[in-house]
Amino acid sequence: MKKEKIVLGISGGVDSSVAALLLQQKGYEVHGIFMKNWDDKTAICSAEDDYGDAASVCATLNIPLTKINYTKEYKEKVFSQFLKDHELGLTPNPDVLCNKEIKFDVFEKYAKKIGAKKIASGHYAKVLMKDDKFFIGKAKDLTKDQSYFLYQLSDKVLKNIEFPLGNLYKNEVREIAEKNKLVNAKKKDSTGICFIGDRQYNTFLEQFIDKKEGDIISLDGTLVGKHNGHMFFTVGQRKGLGIGAKKSAFDKPWYVVKKNIDKNIIYVAQGGEHPALFSDELVAVNIFLNENIKSKLPMPCFAKVRYRDNDHSCQIISLNDDQCYIKFDKKIKAITKGQSIVLYEESGLCFGGGIIKKRNIPYLEKEIYE
């Protein structure tokens, strides 16, 4: 009996390698794709090293591996937007955009080319069904769950996707790799943004964005320091401000609580529990929803406002003209413009999300929204 073909993204890491093995064991004819997205050898996702590991694993498993260079597309669709968002004062998440604009699109096109109907990845996530539709769901291993990055995958795409690691814990994945003598069984997980690598975040940005000195001002209007550009700072940031503690505030560290982009001003306050850091309302744009929820509003649900965030109970109050107004049951620390807010049911089913455009700051009476 002829096996069904499936296209799998293989990065050279242990997760996608074990995903390949599990798909084979499930009876699929696995075809691997290695996607190169960056030319810089100083990045932690060094393409040469990772490709070598991917090729070794595919040779061990007798899987064909095709290398696709999409550095041009990545820079045009993802990296350029990453830089633009910083210049606008946002804190973007390029992994979300990459999954939407490039990664799964490449998988689908290659699958069509070789006559495969299904695609797969080594993400920690699940595909769930509700009312005969397909949705992204949280992985069993909540410490590794990557559904946050995949919220923009539609029912049409999800019906043909496999996530082999969705029901496994990370330690189980490594055990499978070791048992099957995969070369990357003990390979260190990649963290952060791959094209930045081991360099300091701001040092990397300075190669592409011009510095522009501005004032660091406390909420009482006192000039407390200078900065080299608002785009190098984000709400909730404590390190790298270059200002010492203020004795009258009991030596509490400074935190970024607000930015004025037009005037290039960073506003700061002392103490990680300062009320200006906390918000209970936000407006999101670029909304993607995998179901029609307008008739259910106001709709209770749960939301993450950044990756690795806890779930926060909230209500979707309104949804108009691609704008969504969300009210949280409790105040949340350091909601950051440019990050994704991802929406879940209590079951862990993800039904969509959007990009945070502004948040309320109840403490600042003159400017309710930032």
> Would you please indicate which residues are annotated as catalytic (active-site) residues?
98, 194
Place of tokens 């390698």: 17
Angle at which helices 14-25 and 170-179 pack, to 10 degrees? 70
Q: Is 20 left (phi over 0), alpha (psi -120 to 50) or beta?
A: alpha
According to DSSP, the residues that pair with 35 across neighbouring strands are 68
What's the sign of the alpha-carbon dihedral 88, 90, 350, 155? positive
Give the list of residues 6+ apart from residue 269 with CB closer than 8 angstroms, or none. 218, 219, 254, 255, 257, 276, 277
Backbone phi, psi, residue 359, to 5°: -130, 155
> What tokens were used for 317?
């109050």
